Structure formats: C-alpha cells, structure tokens
Amino acid sequence: MPQILSRKQFLGSLALLGAAMALPALADTFPSRPIKLVVPFAPGGNTDVVARLAAQGLTEALGQPVIVENIPGANGSIGASRVATSANDGYTLLFGTAGTQAINPSLYKNQSEKTLDDFEYVALITSIPNVLVVNETKTPVKSVAELVAHAKERRTGLSYGSPGTGSTVHLSGELFKSAAGLDLVHVPYKGSAPALTDLIGGQIDLIFENVTPALPFIQGGKLKALAVTSAERLPLLPNVPTMKESGFPAFVTATWNGVLAPKGTPRAVVQKVETALLKVAASPEFKARVAALGGEPRQMGSAAFRDYTRTEFKHWAGIVQAAKLEKQ
C-alpha cells in the first residue's frame, strides 16, 4: 500500500530536494561577489604578507576580488572566532595559523580540541620555521651547544623574547628550556619588531623568532643565527644547522598558514576554493615569493590539512602542558 505523506512531511521532502538541487548550482555560480579573507593578526607580519600573496592569486583564479581584512587580538582568536560564526557560504574565509588552529585550544578557557571542528579545512600552503638568534656582543656563543653551556654557567637564567604568549616563538623557547634543562625567563612583547629591537640592544639574550622578520638582521650581521627549527636546512641560510643537527632530534617547530571556512560550508564550494588555492600554491611565482621570506611552500589539500591540524594540536598541547602554562 503506498505511503501517504503528511503535508509537513511533503514540504520537508521538497525542502531537502531543493537543497540537494541547489548545491551544484551554488558550485557553478560561486563566487558571484567579493570574498573576504580574514587575517587574525595586524598588518605587516609574515602571516599578513603570505595572505596577501594568496589573495592575489585567488583573485585571478576565482575571477572575483579576494579582500584581506585584518582582525587582530588574543593570539589570533578574535579573528578566527569571527570567521567561525560567519555565514557558511564561502564568502568569509580564515587565513589560519598554527597559533589559531593548533595552539590556542590549549591556551584559552573558552576553547578546546572541539574548536577544531568549528571549521571546514580548505588547504595548507606554507610553513615558516623559527630561527634561534642571539646578539653575540651580549651572548658570545656560536652554536647551540655553546649557548647551553653558557646558560648553565650563568647564576641567573637567560631571557628569551617572543611576540606574545602562545606564539610558536614563545613555545619554541619553552621547548628549548625543557629539552636542554635550562633556567630561561620568558619576556613577551607586543610583536616581533620590539622583541628583535631589544635583542639587538642587549635587553634580552635570545629569541626563537620566525625566519621572516629575523632574516634581515641575520643577513645584515646584527644577529647571529645558531639554528633553524625546520626538519631540513633552509636554502636562504644554508650554513645554519637545524636544531636536530644541534643535538635536539625531536625539535621541529614552525608556524604555518592555511585557509579555512566556517563549519557547514558546502563541500562543492570548499572544493572550488581548494582547487584554486592549491593552484596558487603550486605556481612558480608564489613559491619564489614564499622562499624569499624564508618559508617553505606547501600543497596540502583539505583532508590532509584537517588531519595535520589534529597532529599539530597534540604536538603543541604537549609543549603547553610541559611548560605548565595556565589557560587564559
């Protein structure tokens, strides 16, 4: 006997059918207006620079303007939260980092591992390692081994700077502190520029800075690079060993950049942006520009990016716990 649907069931079925039919149409018409790419940090940093390179490429690939909007604050959490609660139509995207996606869930009381599920993962396109630098006038060492010995000879702990609590720069310092068994004092700043200025001026002893802002001072001879935190040596600093080579085999840290969309963004839309973004990341021009910043171009698609973020969350959560940092 044929099943008779109620009016409510019939209308519900029509709605589901309409939504299913709308997905291909949405993919065909997207994007039909400008897209906003939120950078959750202030203008001028390496995340902002790479985001603008990506936005330029996406504008050409998608045929609509991709406009960068900077929403800084709380180690990127404010901008990330803004995107997570935006309409899930593909027109508001996040330029996420290791900080916003993998570190902050362990640092902020209103976040947890569940926060990772607030987004659709589009693609990861760059990785930028840190570099351990010192001012030789204040800290007269030429290697990581000499730095460790120098720190252990001091009666009081050496100080290390960072552009803020919870950054990969800060947590790289904490990892070094625990791995080498050192008494180090963290000095947080409001950005990389003042931290590097004080390092050059002798107010602090060392910093695990992102390669991008530290590179000009290394090349100009104002700072001495002791090691990079990447898995392999960097082409721009071929004579600088890795932390792995310097006696710390598990010491690999970096910030990274990828694009995310609000949870529930249609898969067809995510795939369209993913395809365009990976095309941008594979272009010789993008690779050259990222390499010039000291970064490593990456081409990691949606599923791999999602899995990688969870691996990174566990990695940084372990460092946060070892450092006994209280949630903010």
Say which residues have a Cβ less than 8 Å from residue 45's Cβ, sequence separation at least 6.
191, 192, 212, 213
pLDDT exceeding 90 applies to what percent of the chain?
Answer: 76
Mean pLDDT of the chain: 90
Per-domain boundaries in the chain: 33-128+254-322, 129-228
> What number is the average pLDDT over the span 266-275?
98
Model confidence at 156, pLDDT cuts 50, 70, 90, reads confident
DSSP 14-52: HHHHHHHHHHHHHHHH--SS-EEEEESS-TTSHHHHHHH
Greater model confidence, 156 or 258: 258
- What gap in Å lies between CA 38 and CA 34, rounded to an integer? 13
Helix or strand run (H / E) with residue 210? strand 206-210
CA atoms in the 13 A half-sphere facing the CB of 202: 5
State whether CATH 3.40.190.10 applies to domain 129-228: yes
**Class of residue 301 by CB neighbours under 10 A (exposed 0-12, middle 13-18, buried 19+):** middle
- First-residue to last-residue Cα distance in the chain: 62
The predicted pLDDT at position 97 comes to 95
The predicted pLDDT at position 5 comes to 54
Model confidence at 8, pLDDT cuts 50, 70, 90, reads low
Alpha-carbon distances of 299 from 8, 238, 271, 274, rounded to whole Å:
47, 23, 14, 10
Of 320, 258, 303, 255, which Cα lies nearest the Cα of 98? 255
As a whole number of Å, the CA-based R_g of the chain is 22
Model confidence at 1, pLDDT cuts 50, 70, 90, reads very low
Per-residue pLDDT tens over the stretch 37-76: 999 988 888 899 999 999 999 999 999 999 999 999 888 9
Q: Do domains 33-128+254-322 and 129-228 have the same CATH topology?
A: yes
- What gap in Å lies between CA 271 and CA 122, rounded to an integer? 7
Q: Is residue 326 pLDDT above 80, yes or no?
A: no
Model confidence at 324, pLDDT cuts 50, 70, 90, reads confident
Per-residue pLDDT tens over the stretch 271-305: 999 999 999 999 999 999 999 988 989 999 999 99
Q: Topology of domain 33-128+254-322, per CATH?
A: D-Maltodextrin-Binding Protein; domain 2 (3.40.190)
Greater model confidence, 238 or 74: 238
Helix or strand run (H / E) with residue 236? none
